[in-house]
Each structure stands twice: as structure tokens, then as C-alpha cells.
Structure 1
């Protein structure tokens, strides 16, 4: 299948082509037709499988007729909820790229930043709003967003949303969005708590599962070194000096304290590193991520929650200082690395492809 085989307008196909995309990913191939049929969807697919395009592309298609008929007043009818600021910004950037040759306007609001520019954005009018739960409810309480006018609600990274403690906010948003026509939920995994939330939100959804692999791709080279716990930091420094050197590396730790501990050790030993975790302010997280993406530093130490879903790909190395509990999380972590690199793995698992 190609995108040309889907019932999409030339404007949207042009936007997709400008991004260099010719064929839909498996999750896009399955989800796009269901969204166009106005069905509710519960989709499980890991980050990096094209989830944003799976809901953004068909929603843009459905919005085009509405945009053509609308008056000068524009208010959001599509609401996309994301658990973190970084993910929300990334989703909205992707939507804008797909909508480049259409008249559909999108915007993003999130906490940890000045509210006034976001109020101005809403006053100027838009069709698609991407938001984090807390800031959305703050703006709604002050009268800047009318959730009664939302027709399509998308929950992205639902399992992470619940892990971060947003269940009350999400349920409140669902209750306040009383005129929904369509509901879409995306999650890397579908544990019982996500299933319970799906029952609250979705109506006879199409259940779609894609790429739930617990096995690493064969081209990913992995090596494991077992060392006593107290020697792991010293081993990390050895690997950084003798294996990674100046190449890009993403280091995963399980806790915020662990991230800070590894970050301090690296900086004290002369390495250029940044840290990313939930206790950082939004501005600190943005600065750290941009420095890493712009290659001002070659090391980023992060928790899974902070790095989940972010477009940090084509890395030289990934180091699992702490091994995750779920095999799917491990496979997702190591899938961020690029081909053609030698690699080493430790317990502390370090891998590349």
C-alpha cells in the first residue's frame, strides 16, 4: 500500500510527500482507514512506529470539509492529550508538517511556560489543539477553552499518562468533553488500567495491535558484562573513554536520583552531558534536549518517562545502566540506535546497530 491508495486529498498527500514518506507504516495502514470511517480506535504501538501520522493524517482529511465551511471564528474541535511538554510539542510539529498545504491550523499548550502566549494562540483561533492535561484544565477553568465544542479526543501514550498520575485529570477532561463524536487512544502497552480507561472513553472501538515485539532486531548488536553493583559507575566511565569516546550516547537509568548520580559522575570526569527527568523544570528539560539534539553535548542521561516518545533517534550508542522491567521497553530503548556501528553491552547493557 502507498499513501496514494488511501482516500486522502492532494493537499495532504503533498504534505506527506514533502516529508519524504511514500508508504504508510503498519500502524498507519491499519488505523487511518478506521479513523476515516469515524470509528473509535484503541491502538497499541510503540514509539517510532508512526503513531502521530496514524491519527493526524486522517483527522486532517476529515477537518478539511469543516474548515472550508467555517465562519471567521475558529475554535478547536480536535483535542490531543499528551503526558509531557516535549511530546506535545513534537506532536504539534508533526501535525503542522502534514497540514502544510491545507488551511487547518494547529497549536500546543503546556505547563511550565507563560500562559499569555498560549491564550493569544487560542484567541487567534485554531482547529487542532495539542495539550498536556494540567495546562488544558487551567485554561478551561479561566474560560479560554470550551471542551463542549470538542468533537474528537485523542489520548496519546495513555499508559505513560497513567504512570505519571494524570488519571484524575484525564477522566475530568473526558467528562467535560460532552459532545464527542470520535475517540482515539494510543498506548505502547495495554495493561489493565489502560483497559479500564478505554472502557470509560471509547465506544465499541476497533482494537489494533502493531509491533508489540519482545525480541530485538537481529542487526542490533548487544553485549553483556556482569559486574558488582558498586563497580557499574566505574565501568560506565571506562566505556565512555574507550568505546563511546565522542560519539552520541543515550544513557537510561530507572530513577531521577540515578540520573543525577550518573550525570554528576560524568561531568566530574570531563564528559559533556545533560540530564533529563521529571523533576527538571520545562525550561531545563528543553535546554537539555536541544543541546543533545544540536550536538552541543554528546551524552544524555534520562529516565524512561522523560525520554518516552521523543524523537531522539539515529544514536551511536544506547547504554542501559539499569535494565527495565518489561522486555518491550528494552527493545524500544535499543531500537533508537543507528546501523553500521560497532557496539558493546554491559549490565549496564550498551548496544548499537
Structure 2
């Protein structure tokens, strides 16, 4: 398919060196339009080849139509440092037989060093919005010659609060440029809004399914509490067969604590989260790729942009906070058609979230038990096969109606008893002389009036 697109020979040479014999579906659908310079909205699942879907056309243009007098011509914005590293790696591989230069502009790197790289006018700038905004404010970057703007994983950038930065950055790209917006989902309202602002007559390329890749087995193991989850995680990592594994936690503290526990049990593990310096993150990922460590305990920082071969086990120690985030976590395994296993550890606090993710993705996780560590918690009572409570609302309604009837009956009986009791008193008061019963009150009132 690549040969039929009339790509530059140097680009075809790089594709052959990478042994890409067949384009993925997202590449097949998007490349003809991107090569024509059309604005695109590309929606595809993680691991589907989206990065090459935009790198191939921008590199073809740079190699085929060199402009040595221009400044930087391609701007690729990404949400995380890890994704920036991955894009740079793919870009270098595809441009290895050409003179195309690319740089990464991201946090965790010396600002003045980045400024010196930008002064050389690299063809491609791969940047996170926050750090690029700092360079714009310091006037250390010029985007006036940008011909193509790529927003990779736009949904993630919006979730991280980069909307205003992205819009402000694109305003500095003063020339008429092509825009390519990539997102794992189009359900995000912010993606549609920003697409309407930045893109002109955009073509939609949508390659996504209602469920995750069929080659990924997804399981749920019920747990009682975090201590039980720790035991389950240790058991899985010492009994499952895998080459590399990633364990996802919700917080940095949980990632570090679990990392320390697994190290205590002599497992080859490292942690990855936002408080780790960038150089140390790079070292951790190098060890992971080289097999020096085979387990990473990470926050959602690692859910996007990590493309490591051999990851065949993902454990969600804490459930992802949304269906889309779950897709990105689990997408670290089962890449390039390989099989993978994803396991969610679910306690009573996680069950509702797990059920909502099942409904959102229209899938059903396989239920699993580990007999030596079987949980006492068995899930909420009265649950249908689809995870929704059954009959609870109806039962509660009946109970409330029954309580109201009983309360009304008791009130009626008390009222009747008082009525019977008061009837006798009224009769007695009526037959008494003026000095008894109610007469003294009447007599006192008369005396006051006379005074």
C-alpha cells in the first residue's frame, strides 16, 4: 500500500527498513487525504498506528519540498513527556535516510538548552503545551513558518487542562497551515469544540470499535481491601507467565508503596510517576525496554505514549477513572496483534466504577478467583448479569409504602382513642354546676371585663 502512494524514495527506504509490509486501517484511510494537505480528525484506538498516520505525510512533504530558508515547519503537540519521546523515536526512524531534524520541547529539561535547539530552526518541533508556552512568552521560539499542526491525543491534552494553551499556541502559527487532530475517542465534548475552532472543512477518519482488541483477555478479581490487593498483585506477578508487566495505581503514594513491597519480595520492579525527575524516568524506561526490570508500577502518567514491546500483562491495582482511561491503560498490552492479559482488582469501593466502565465500553469482564486468596467480598447483592442492581428500587419503594401505611394506621388508632376519651370529659363538663368543670374560667373572664 505504501508504494502505491508515491512516497519519496527515502521515506520508502525507511519504511522497508522498519519492515512495515502492510499499512494499518487508520493509515490506509488517512494517508491519501493527509498527503493532499486536507485537515483531518482521526479517531482510532491506542496501538492502531496513528503516529505513523501523520508522520508519513509530514515527512514526505518536508523531504519532497525542502525549504532551507524557512524556520520550523511542523509542530506536533502531545500531552506528556513520554509520548513526546515516543513520537521522536518514530520520527527519527522514519527520517533516518534524510536530513530532517526534530527536537523535543518539554518540561524537565534545561530551558536554555532547549532555546539553543530552537535557534537552529529544526524542521519538526515535538512539544508539550506547557513548556512551549513558556518559550513563546520568552520569545525563544518562532512559529510563523509552521505549515502543519498536529494535536496528538487531543482528548488527553484537554483533560489535563491545556485547552487555552493549545489555542494560544496555534494563534502564533500565522501562515495558513494544515491541521491534524488525533483522539482515541470523539465522545469528548471538548474535542469537538476545539476541532470546530481550529480545523477547516476537515475530513473525519474514524477507526474505532465498541470494545477493546479481541486479543486482550480482560478479567476481574474481587478483593476485600488494599492489603488484600497487595497479596493478589504479588501472587499474580509470581504465578502468571509474562515477559513484561505494568501495574497501574491511582496515586503516586500508592505506586511507591507497592513498588517498595514488591522489591521486598525480590521482584525486579521500578516505579514511574510525576514526582520522578525526567532523567530518572528515562533510565527506568530504558531498563524496562532492555529487560533489566520486568515490572513497572505506574500512575496514569504511563498510560499514554508508552510503546514497549513485550508487555503482555496489565494489572489495574486501582480502577481507571473513566472508560477512555481504561482503554489507554489496557492498550499497553496486546499491541501489534500480540495477545495480552489485563486484570482489574475490584473491592466494594471500585465495583460501581467497574460496572460503569463495562457499560461504557459495552463489554463484560471475565470474573476470576484465586482460591488461596479468595475474597470475602462477593460483590453487591441483587446484581444482574450486566452489573446493574435488580429489584432494589422496587423493594425500597414497597418498604417505604408499607412504613407509611403502618404509620397512618397507628395515628388513626391514637386519634380514635383520644376521641373516645374526650367524649366522656365533654359530657361530664356539660352536666357540672357553674363552680366546676369549665365554669371557673368563664367566671374569671367576667370579672376581668367588669373591672
Asked if 1:76 is matched to 2:76, the reply is no
Q: Which residue of 2 aligns with 1:184?
A: 180
Q: Distance in 1 between matches of 2:135 and 2:174?
A: 17
Asked if 1:237 is matched to 2:221, the reply is no
Q: Counterpart of 2:345 in 1: which secondary structure?
A: coil
Q: Distance in 1 between matches of 2:148 and 2:293?
A: 40
Contact 2:41 2:181 in 1 (8 A): yes
Asked if 1:63 is matched to 2:52, the reply is no
Shift of 1:120: 2.7
Q: Counterpart of 1:100 in 2: which secondary structure?
A: coil
Among 116, 120, 132, which residue is 1:120 paired with? 116
Q: Counterpart of 2:247 in 1: which secondary structure?
A: strand
Relative to structure 1, the CA distance from residue 335 to residue 84 in structure 2 (aligned partners, 3 Å threshold; closer, same or farther) is closer
Q: Distance in 2 between matches of 1:259 and 1:232?
A: 13
Q: Counterpart of 2:166 in 1: which secondary structure?
A: helix
Shift of 1:343: 6.2
Contact 1:160 1:305 in 2 (8 A): no
Relative to structure 1, the CA distance from residue 237 to residue 350 in structure 2 (aligned partners, 3 Å threshold; closer, same or farther) is farther
Asked if 1:90 is matched to 2:91, the reply is no
Relative to structure 1, the CA distance from residue 123 to residue 328 in structure 2 (aligned partners, 3 Å threshold; closer, same or farther) is closer
Among 196, 207, 217, which residue is 1:199 paired with? 196
Relative to structure 1, the CA distance from residue 254 to residue 189 in structure 2 (aligned partners, 3 Å threshold; closer, same or farther) is farther
Q: Deviations over 1:38-88 (max 9, x none)?
A: 111111112211111101101111222431xx34x4521111011111211
Contact 2:333 2:341 in 1 (8 A): no
Q: Which residue of 1 aligns with 2:144?
A: 148
Of residues 207-216 and 123-132 in structure 1, the stretch that sits farther from structure 2 once superposed is: 207-216
Q: Counterpart of 1:129 in 2: which secondary structure?
A: strand
1:1-353 to structure 2, matched below 5 A, reads 2-67=1-66, 70-71=67-68, 73-190=69-186, 191-217=188-214, 219-230=215-226, 231-243=228-240, 247-337=243-333, 345=343, 347=345
Q: Distance in 1 between matches of 2:244 and 2:96?
A: 32
Contact 2:216 2:340 in 1 (8 A): no
Of residues 188-197 and 264-273 in structure 1, the stretch that sits farther from structure 2 once superposed is: 264-273
Shift of 1:11: 1.5
Q: Distance in 2 between matches of 1:278 and 1:42?
A: 30
Q: Deviations over 1:309-349 (max 9, x none)?
A: 21123223221222334445445544443588896845269
Q: TM-score normalized by structure 1? A: 0.88
Q: Distance in 1 between matches of 2:344 and 2:199?
A: 43
Which stretches of structure 1, 4 residues or longer, exceed 4 Å deviation after superposition? 325-329, 338-346, 348-351
Contact 2:250 2:320 in 1 (8 A): yes
Shift of 1:307: 2.7
Contact 2:105 2:126 in 1 (8 A): yes
Cα RMSD (Å)? 2.6
Contact 2:14 2:97 in 1 (8 A): yes
Q: Counterpart of 1:209 in 2: which secondary structure?
A: strand
Shift of 1:291: 1.9
Relative to structure 1, the CA distance from residue 123 to residue 79 in structure 2 (aligned partners, 3 Å threshold; closer, same or farther) is same
Q: Distance in 2 between matches of 1:254 and 1:168?
A: 26
Q: Counterpart of 2:41 in 1: which secondary structure?
A: strand
Q: Counterpart of 2:311 in 1: which secondary structure?
A: coil
Q: Deviations over 1:87-137 (max 9, x none)?
A: 112112211211222232222221111233323322333211111112212
Q: Distance in 2 between matches of 1:3 and 1:301?
A: 38
Q: Distance in 1 between matches of 2:150 and 2:38?
A: 12
Shift of 1:158: 0.7
Q: Which residue of 1 aligns with 2:411?
A: none
Aligned length: 345
Contact 1:320 1:350 in 2 (8 A): no
Q: Which sections of structure 2, spanning at least 5 residues, go unmatched?
A: 347-364, 368-451
Of residues 327-336 and 51-60 in structure 1, the stretch that sits farther from structure 2 once superposed is: 327-336
Contact 1:48 1:309 in 2 (8 A): no
Q: Distance in 2 between matches of 1:272 and 1:54?
A: 36
Higher Cα Rg: structure 1 or 2?
Answer: 2
Q: Counterpart of 1:28 in 2: which secondary structure?
A: helix
